[in-house]
Amino acid sequence: MSLIRTLLIRVSGPDQLGVSAELFEVLSAIGAVVKDIEQIVVRRRLTLDVLIEVDKSDDALKDLLLFGYQRGLHIDVEEVHGEPTEYTEQCVVTLIGRDITPSQLMLATRTISNNEGNIDRIIRLSRYPVMSYELAVNGGKLDEIKQGLLQVASETPELDIAVQPLNLSRKAKRLVVLDVDSTLIQNEVIDLLAEQAGCGAEVSNITELAMRGEIDFEESLRQRVSLLEGLDELGVERAWQNLKLTPGARTFCRTLGRLGFTTALVSGGFSIFAERLQRELNIKHARANELEIVGGRLTGRVVGPIVTRESKADFLREIAEIEGVPIDQTVAVGDGANDLDMLTIAGLGIAFNAKPIVQDAANTTLRVPYLDAILFMLGVSREEVEAADSSDLL
C-alpha cells in the first residue's frame, strides 16, 4: 500500500521563460497532486512554492532535482503536515510613506506579532509617488493589532497605516465620497472668493476656527458669506482660476472611474465650484452650498439648507442607497471637523492631511500630499494604475 506524502517544493533562482511550465511537466510525470501554489519575482529573482501530494518514493523526485540542475535553479523539498492551514480572522495592513525604512517595518511587524498575528504575505503596491506595502495578516487579536498599529502611525509621522478586515467588503468597495476644500483641492474656496472681495484675512481666520471645531460651522459660514456681498461674477471666475487640484486628484478620480467606482463630492463650500469640478473630473454626484447671486453679484447670503457635518453623513447614506451600495462598501475622505460623521459611518473613513482633531478621531489617516495614494489603501497597485492609463492610449 502506497503512502501519501505532502511535500512543499521551493524553486528559487534567476527568473527564466518557461520555468513554471517545465516544473509542472515534471510534477505531472511523477503523478503529483497540486494542493497550493505561490510565486513571486523580485528584481528578476524567482521564488516559486508548490505544495503537492505524491505517493511515489524518493526516486520519483530525481527528475525534479535534474530539472533544477539543468535550469540553474535551487530546489528545496520539505515534507510537511498534510492538514491545510486553518485561517481565522484575517486583515490587510497597508503601509504608506515617502520612504518606508527598516525601522518602520520593524515597528509595524512587531506590533502584529506581539498581538499573535501572522503575516502570510507582503506585496509592494508602489514605489511612486510614495512607497507602499500591503501585508496580509492571519489570526491574532484584530482589535489589538489595529489599535497597536494606529498607535505606531500616530508616533511615526512619516508612516501612514490602514488596517481593514480581509473580506469581500474590502474588495468590493464601490462608492467614494470626497470632501472638496483642502482634500480634492488644495485651497479653501471661500478663501479664494474672499481674496477677490478684499476680505481675505477676516474670512481665513473664521475658516480656521471652524475647521478646528472651535466654532459652529453653520454660523461661521453665514458670517463669512456675508463678507462676500457685492463680489461680481468676474471675481468668481478669477477665484476659479486660482484653484489648485491636490496632486494626484485627476489620477485618483480617473482610476476610480475605470475600476467601476461611483464618485461623489460633498462640500461645505459652494456649488459654483463643486459642480465645475464634478464636470471636469467626471464625478457622478455633487452637493454643496448655493450662493445667492442677483444681478451678477453675490448678495452675501446662502440659498437653501447649509451643508453641515450631519448632512455630509446623510449625503453619503443617500448616495449609497441610490447606487445600491452597502454602507460598509463605501469610502469617505475629508480633512475637517465637519467631515467626522461621514468618516465614521463609511466602511473606510480616511482623514487626508487632516486637522489634529480629525486625525485623533479618525480610524485611518493619510499624511502624504498625494490623493491617489488612497488607491493603495484600496489594494490598487501603481502598475495597475499605469496599465489603465496606457490602455487609454491604444
* pLDDT tens-digit map of 320-339: 999 999 999 999 999 988 89
The rounded percent of the chain whose pLDDT value lies above 70 is 93
Give the residues across from 114 on adjacent strands: none
CA distance linking residue 261 with residue 176, whole number of Å: 7
pLDDT band at 84 (very low <50, low <70, confident <90, very high): low
pLDDT in tens, 12-49: 999 999 999 999 999 998 888 898 898 888 788 889 99
Q: Comparing 57 with 115, which gets the higher pLDDT?
A: 115
CA distance linking residue 147 with residue 153, whole number of Å: 10
Count of other CB atoms within 10 angstroms of residue 149: 25
| DSSP string of 47-75, one letter each residue | EEEEEEEE-S-GGGGHHHHHHHHHHT-EE
Question: What is the identity of the amino acid at 331?
Answer: V
pLDDT of residue 71: 92
pLDDT of residue 393: 44
Would the CATH topology of 90-166 be identical to that of 175-186+244-290+301-389? no
Which CATH number applies to 90-166?
Answer: 3.30.70.260
- Homologous superfamily (CATH) for 5-79: ACT domain (3.30.70.260)
Q: Which of 57-61, 67-71, 94-98, 112-116 has the lowest mean pLDDT?
A: 57-61
pLDDT band at 60 (very low <50, low <70, confident <90, very high): low
Q: Domain residue spans in the chain? A: 5-79, 90-166, 175-186+244-290+301-389
Which CATH number does the domain 175-186+244-290+301-389 belong to among 3.40.50.1000, 1.10.150.120, 3.40.50.970, 3.40.50.620? 3.40.50.1000
pLDDT band at 394 (very low <50, low <70, confident <90, very high): very low
Residues 6 or more apart whose Cβ sits within 8 Å of residue 156: 104, 107
Residue whose grid cell is 501519501: 4
What pTM, to 2 d.p., does this model score?
0.84
Which active-site residues does the annotation give?
A: 179, 181
pLDDT of residue 177: 98
pLDDT in tens, 289-316: 999 999 999 999 999 999 999 999 999 9
